[in-house]
Amino acid sequence: MNALQQTELMDVEEIQSQDKPFEITDLESLNWAFRKLSALKSKEKEIKQVADVERERIAEWERGELSTISNSLEFFENMIAVYHAKQLEQDPKAKTISTPYGKSKTRRSGEAPEKADEEQILQYVIENEMDEFIKNSVKWGDLKKSLKIVEISGEKVVISQDGQIVPGVSVKPETITFSVEVD
């Protein structure tokens, strides 16, 4: 933030707290408002930069602190799993081992099919006419490009390329939005 922008910020709070609010009435007052806006945006950017630097420093510190803990957690969890596996070999019913400070649990999941290549699966389903396993959906972006809005009997409707009214499609009214850009 430069010295001119700092000067612009001096009276911002005072202007906002006045009984009679400031009003833009001409090009000069519009320019004045843009100077204030530019100074505020610059101050906002400065604050965010400082906060980002601090967040990164804290995140780096956190990663360093947690990496040693993570290694230790993994070490102890592996030791417990090895012990539990030995107990399970001796007694297949020892699915849970409990102590006052924690439990080691096992869960067996049976074999199950898993997707490896969706294209090959789709091709197989198509070739074997297993249509009940194929789902259809509309490519809305492509369809929307081919549609037209026309007025019929005073009502706006959406029609296809061949002039048919498309059911399930409505006309979103035109809107105007404003945006402000500050250099």
Provide the pLDDT for residue 54: 97
Q: Are 44 and 51 in contact (CB under 8 A)?
A: no
Provide the pLDDT for residue 48: 97
Q: Tell me: pLDDT of 17 over 80.
A: no
Q: Tell me: pLDDT of 158 over 90.
A: yes
